[in-house]
Chain A
Amino acid sequence: MSRLAGLFSELKNQGRKALVPYIVAGDPTQEITLPLMHELVAKGADILEIGVPFSDPMAEGPVIQLAHERALANHTSLSKTLEIVSAFRKDNQTTPVVLMGYTNPVERMGYSEFAKRATAAGVDGLLTVDLPPEEASELSAILAEAGIDNIFLLAPTSTDERIAQTAALASGYLYCVSLKGVTGAGHLDVEAVKAQMDKIRAHTDLPVTVGFGIKDGASASAVAPHCEGVVVGSALVESIAASSTDAAKLAACELIADIRKAIDSI
């Protein structure tokens, strides 16, 4: 069983929800990413989503765009991101790590080469924001062969037909985008998420995490009852960015502890 499948089955038995923080590799320095990953786990993260820096992060709001720009300013590449995951795996063999990014860096490295190096580094899943199922069959087959879960987005605009098509190709979990918009948008509508989750449930038993617009304990615990996990990106990236020293950046992970508390007490 993959690390992701194992985790979700364990959480289900415990009646808990997955807490999934997102940070961008190399933001703002390559040195801080590894200690941040360990700190996030210590504060209660179940899965780490690590953003792979890209020059044109089309699906991101301003906060995460800036994170990509900071990471690129210090030349954090996909290769470097894999090195960081590899270093993380030396001390942590249990927490699943999912890379979230855009197609081009993966395509430039080569799908097979990526799968080989990601497996060696201990990556559990890949989510390419701009690779919908109709373009993903080649990469999905290679990832499946390598035992890396292929994670796809579902959106408020996804039709029943697409939900079925996506679920058929997906493994690990599905990432449900809570709203029409970019990351960090401020118009989360819990009722709409609930309706969307009902639609998704009709087509798949895969675990579903919800992201975009979840920024604190209140928004996380409003969404959590309807899904298997919550993703926290922009709010975390912003509070890390607002902290000037490395010690303060690690302290900013307290946000994850707060959200952990909130979703554990629903």
Chain B
Amino acid sequence: MTKQAMENRFPDFRNFPDNKGHFGIHGGRFVSETLIHALDELTEAYQRLSADPAFQAEFDNDLAHYVGRPSPLYHAERWSREVGGAQIYLKREDLNHTGAHKVNNTIGQALLAKYMGKKRIIAETGAGQHGVASATVAARLGMECQVFMGEEDIRRQALNVYRMKLLGAEVISVTSGSRTLKDAMNEAMRDWVTNVDNTFYIIGTAAGPHPYPMLVRDFQSIIGREARRQFAEQAGGQPDALVACVGGGSNAIGLFHPFLEDEGVAMYGVEAGGHGVETGQHAAPLSAGIPGVLHGNRTYLMQDSDGQIMHTHSVSAGLDYPGVGPEHSWLKDIGRVNYVSINDDEALAAFRKLTLVEGIMPALESSHAVAYAEKLAQTMRPDQSIIVNLSGRGDKDIHTVASIDGIGIE
């Protein structure tokens, strides 16, 4: 496609969201009145600070020396050879401090909190990765931190719960609704509305009311900017395709966004197919949902015919969410990104495969991207390339995989 055709086909991605936080029909600000003022304050502070060289320098410095960026772009040659198609490169977000891409965003938001003079941080978490990343930055900045986590997830992710406690955070058990991530997010919103004066709510994914989807995207876009430069240096030119898993979608938007205007780069967001999208037991709103309003934004949702949000299923707690970031919903609508799904069994097989073939154990979330990349690579030529966002490491999932194997680990 020519540049002109690209320009005609898509709007200018840099103009989104609009000043009300809309990406097409998606996004926006659907919250109760009490929070509007806080969101206005945050938007204003973010606009001011993102243009402030001192803030940017501090953010960049933290990413370099605390997180360990840039994360490597690794050519998985053995795996590529075995797959027998395109060359597969892994963007190694698993090597970040705390083990996932989540920390890029918590560093950025905690810095915002610091500059805004907020003393207390709250966060929601599903698998515990965002909770750990939030507790980590709170510990470093000496801030009080409370993490909301569904009772069901606390049971499933005992290791991360204890990790957060060691970091000085308080983990608050959420017993309402389905007792998982979406309910933790409801409860964090309820806390924020009550303590809005002194509290900064660090949302973990590229969803929620404006400006969150925009600022999470901006903080995570370091992934795509690095990958773009690293690929040019290592392989020359641009990759043919990008693949990333999508729960709320923060690692995917971070990889995709800096490439959106590159017409030759195809993009694939991989949702959690659970037991199979056809069974209804999955977490794939872009594949099987319809637009609606939840957690402060309009986006594709898994909902029933009465507009009630449905229970989701995925082997990976981090993808087990009925909504998705609004920019992904828009990128689906305009056809810039392809959204596909990988079911539990395929993700588990990819987890084992990458571990054995490359000695890299991916998080179960990232394993969805790994599984789809393998399918995609087989349809491509060896002179073509794919970048897969390896968004997190799999240590946290060893218990889950062991229990599927019937092995109990103390």
Q: Do A and B bind each other?
A: yes
Where the two chains meet, the residues of A that have a C-beta atom closer than 8 Å to any C-beta of B are 53-62, 65, 69, 72, 75, 77-79, 102-109, 129-132, 134-135, 152-159, 162, 166, 177, 180-182, 185
Contact of B189 with A135 in the complex, beta carbons under 8 Å: no
Contact of B34 with A77 in the complex, beta carbons under 8 Å: no
Contact of B177 with A132 in the complex, beta carbons under 8 Å: no
- Indicate with 1 or 0, residue by residue over B49-87, a CB within 8 angstroms of chain A CB atoms: 000000000000000000000000000000000000000
**Docked complex Cα distance between A103 and B303 (Å):** 13
B367 CB, nearest partner CB in chain A, Å: 28
Known: A55-B308, A134-B20. A180 touches B29 (CB 8 A): no
| Residues B272-304 near A (CB distance < 8 A) | 292-296, 301, 303
Contact of A107 with B194 in the complex, beta carbons under 8 Å: no
B401 CB, nearest partner CB in chain A, Å: 31
Chain B residues with CB below 8 A from A107, complex form: 292-293, 307
Chain B residues with CB below 8 A from A53, complex form: 308
**Docked complex Cα distance between A109 and B308 (Å):** 11
Contact of A181 with B295 in the complex, beta carbons under 8 Å: no
**Docked complex Cα distance between A55 and B296 (Å):** 14
B141 CB, nearest partner CB in chain A, Å: 24
A114 CB, nearest partner CB in chain B, Å: 10
Contact of B193 with A79 in the complex, beta carbons under 8 Å: no
Contact of A157 with B34 in the complex, beta carbons under 8 Å: yes
**Docked complex Cα distance between A106 and B306 (Å):** 9
A186 CB, nearest partner CB in chain B, Å: 11
Contact of B193 with A59 in the complex, beta carbons under 8 Å: yes
**Docked complex Cα distance between A180 and B306 (Å):** 30
Partner of B37, one of A61, A65, A135, A157: A157
Chain A residues with CB below 8 A from B32, complex form: 58-59, 129-130, 132, 153, 155, 177
Using CB atoms, name the residue of chain B closest to A53.
Answer: B308
A179 CB, nearest partner CB in chain B, Å: 9
B262 on the A face (CB < 8 A)? no
Known: A130-B296, A157-B37. A185 touches B194 (CB 8 A): yes
Chain A residues with CB below 8 A from B16, complex form: none
A81 CB, nearest partner CB in chain B, Å: 10
Contact of A108 with B31 in the complex, beta carbons under 8 Å: no
Partner of A55, one of B34, B37, B190, B309: B309
Partner of A108, one of B183, B193, B306: B306
Give the total of B residues in contact with A, Cβ under 8 Å: 36
* Closest CB pairs A-B (n = 6): A108-B307, A105-B307, A155-B34, A77-B306, A157-B37, A155-B33
Contact of A109 with B307 in the complex, beta carbons under 8 Å: yes
A73 CB, nearest partner CB in chain B, Å: 12
Using CB atoms, name the residue of chain A closest to B310.
Answer: A55
Chain A residues with CB below 8 A from B328, complex form: none
Contact of B196 with A65 in the complex, beta carbons under 8 Å: no
> Is the contact region of chain B dominated by helix, strand, or loop, or is it mixed?
mixed
Contact of B306 with A105 in the complex, beta carbons under 8 Å: yes
Contact of A104 with B303 in the complex, beta carbons under 8 Å: yes
Known: A129-B32, A153-B33. A104 touches B292 (CB 8 A): yes
Known: A69-B176, A132-B29, A155-B33. A58 touches B308 (CB 8 A): no
Contact of B308 with A72 in the complex, beta carbons under 8 Å: yes
Known: A55-B177, A130-B30. A108 touches B305 (CB 8 A): yes
Chain A residues with CB below 8 A from B196, complex form: 157, 180
Interface centre among B34, B177, B183, B196 (most CB of A within 10 A): B34
A61 CB, nearest partner CB in chain B, Å: 7
Using CB atoms, name the residue of chain B closest to A130.
Answer: B30
Contact of A177 with B34 in the complex, beta carbons under 8 Å: yes
Partner of A162, one of B30, B36, B305: B36
Chain A residues with CB below 8 A from B28, complex form: 134-135
Partner of B38, one of A72, A103, A157: A157
Given contacts A56-B183, A152-B33, A181-B193, 11 further A-B contacts (CB under 8 A): A58-B32, A72-B308, A78-B306, A103-B30, A104-B294, A108-B292, A108-B307, A130-B293, A159-B37, A177-B34, A180-B196
Q: Could you list 8 examples of A-B contacts with CB < 8 Å?
A: A56-B182, A58-B295, A79-B306, A107-B292, A130-B293, A155-B33, A156-B34, A157-B37
B186 on the A face (CB < 8 A)? yes
Contact of A158 with B308 in the complex, beta carbons under 8 Å: no
Contact of B186 with A180 in the complex, beta carbons under 8 Å: no
Contact of B309 with A132 in the complex, beta carbons under 8 Å: no
Chain B residues with CB below 8 A from A102, complex form: 293
Chain B residues with CB below 8 A from A166, complex form: 33
Using CB atoms, name the residue of chain A closest to B196.
Answer: A180
Chain A residues with CB below 8 A from B29, complex form: 132, 134-135
B338 CB, nearest partner CB in chain A, Å: 26
Known: A56-B186, A105-B307, A132-B30. A180 touches B197 (CB 8 A): yes
Known: A58-B190, A107-B293. A132 touches B33 (CB 8 A): yes
Known: A58-B32, A131-B30, A158-B37. A182 touches B177 (CB 8 A): no
**Docked complex Cα distance between A79 and B305 (Å):** 11
Using CB atoms, name the residue of chain B closest to A166.
Answer: B33
Chain A residues with CB below 8 A from B35, complex form: 157
Using CB atoms, name the residue of chain B closest to A60.
Answer: B190
B209 CB, nearest partner CB in chain A, Å: 9
Using CB atoms, name the residue of chain A closest to B40.
Answer: A159
B193 CB, nearest partner CB in chain A, Å: 6
Chain B residues with CB below 8 A from A61, complex form: 190
Contact of B33 with A177 in the complex, beta carbons under 8 Å: yes
Chain A residues with CB below 8 A from B31, complex form: 58, 130, 132
**Docked complex Cα distance between A157 and B31 (Å):** 13
Chain A residues with CB below 8 A from B186, complex form: 56-58
**Docked complex Cα distance between A55 and B182 (Å):** 10
Chain B residues with CB below 8 A from A129, complex form: 32
A39 CB, nearest partner CB in chain B, Å: 27
